[in-house]
Amino acid sequence: MTQSSLDLNLLIALDLLLEEGSVSGAARRMHLSEPAMSRTLGRIRKALGDPVLVRAGRGMVPTPHALSLRAEVRAVVERAQALFTPTGQVDLGTLSRTFTVLAHDAFAASYGAALLARAAAEAPGVRLRFLAESHLDAPTLREGGADLEVGVIDTTAPEVRVEHLFDDRMVAVVRPGHPLLTGGPVTPERFAAAPQLSVSRRGLLHGPIDTALAELGLSRRVLGSAPTYPAALFMLLDSDLVGLAASRSRGLADALGLAVFEIPLTLPPLPFALAWHPRHDADPAHAWLRERVRELMTAPVG
């Protein structure tokens, strides 16, 4: 494609096609008919010399080449949008955008409804897509797979901005009437003797609790692991296992009628933070999203 024939609308269309994974979804976002969007996809395929999207069952999936371009395409579109937006300003009433938030599912369960309600009230054209943490560590922010990450951020990548929000702590969770709730205070010895359930997206069976117990000459019996905190909570309902939760997410345990108590150990804090790629620094729409998440997560816990 020569410079004289370059159509920047193709970049916008490509960005939406990769985000939606469908011609009909991208057509709806661009206010085009499906045949018109199909013709645009044909032009994109010709320009790139690549199929871009291929059929997989009832849906479509991006080709490896399209995936390699995704972050760059998203960055170019965002920079172009920023050029035509007054510095620091965004018309939330007319903003049409989908933000992908990468977070532990306890975040979506605890704050998702409030964040969706705030977005619907302030920016009705914004959609929020919550993406669960993977058991694999991938440069999701850099590659454009997510716009914002929320949680305990352990990356040291220089191309990622990290904003610390607060330090939380782990608490123990058990079913009502659990044996640990009777028979006196929960000592390190009683805590260690109870069968336990680990929570780890990587399936790990050991963690900071084991380190703290080892310093006291104790060890615990971990009978299994759950990939997420909400899944673990349901497993606790019908067992004598001891589970874990972040104290700010204890509302999930309360909603299920589970009992929460302090862990009788000195554990490292859980540093909750926001993380994003620097290309979003000057994006007023992204700054609005960061501020809304920041407000929700730092609000006093009632």
Q: Is residue 101 part of a domain?
A: no
Q: Is residue 121 part of a domain?
A: no
pLDDT at 2: 46
Q: Residue 174: pLDDT band by 50, 70, 90 thresholds?
A: very high
What are the tens digits of pLDDT across the range 183-218?
Answer: 789 999 999 999 999 988 777 888 899 999 999 999
From the list 275, 297, 137, 270, the residue with the least C-alpha distance to 201 is: 137
**Arithmetic mean of pLDDT over the chain:** 87
Q: Is residue 220 part of a domain?
A: yes
CATH number at residue 204: 3.40.190.10
Q: Is residue 252 part of a domain?
A: yes
With helix as H, strand as E and coil as C, how does 217-278 read? CCCCEEEEEECCHHHHHHHHHCCCCEEEEEHHHHHHHHHCCCEEEECCCCCCCEEEEEEECH
Structural domain count of the chain = 2
Structural tokens at position 16? 């939406």
Q: Is residue 63 part of a domain?
A: yes
Across the range 251-266, mean pLDDT stands at 94
Domain C-terminal end among 68, 84, 100: 84
CATH number at residue 1: 1.10.10.10
Query: What range defines the domain where residue 54 resides?
Result: 1-84
Domain C-terminal end among 40, 61, 84: 84
Domain C-terminal end among 84, 108, 132: 84
Q: Is residue 215 part of a domain?
A: yes
**The whole model's pTM is what?**
0.73
Q: Residue 87: pLDDT band by 50, 70, 90 thresholds?
A: low
Q: What is the DSSP string of the chain?
A: --GGG--THHHHHHHHHHHHSSHHHHHHHHT--HHHHHHHHHHHHHHHTS--EEEETTEEEE-HHHHHHHHHHHHHHHHHHHHTS-TT---TTT--EEEEEEE-HHHHHHHHHHHHHHHHHH-TTEEEEEEEPPSS---HHHHTS-SEEEEE-----TTSEEEEEEEE-EEEEE-TT-GGGSSS---HHHHHHSEEEEE-TT--S--HHHHHHHHTT---EEEEEESSHHHHHHHHHTSS-BEEEEGGGHHHHHHTT-EEEE-SS----EEEEEEE-GGGTT-HHHHHHHHHHHHHHHSPP-
Lowest mean pLDDT among 58-62, 85-89, 101-105: 85-89
Q: Is residue 123 part of a domain?
A: no
| 55: pLDDT strictly greater than 80 | yes
Q: Is residue 44 part of a domain?
A: yes
Lowest mean pLDDT among 27-36, 84-93, 264-273: 84-93
What are the tens digits of pLDDT across the range 23-37?
Answer: 988 888 888 888 999
What are the tens digits of pLDDT across the range 98-125?
Answer: 899 999 888 888 899 999 999 999 999 9
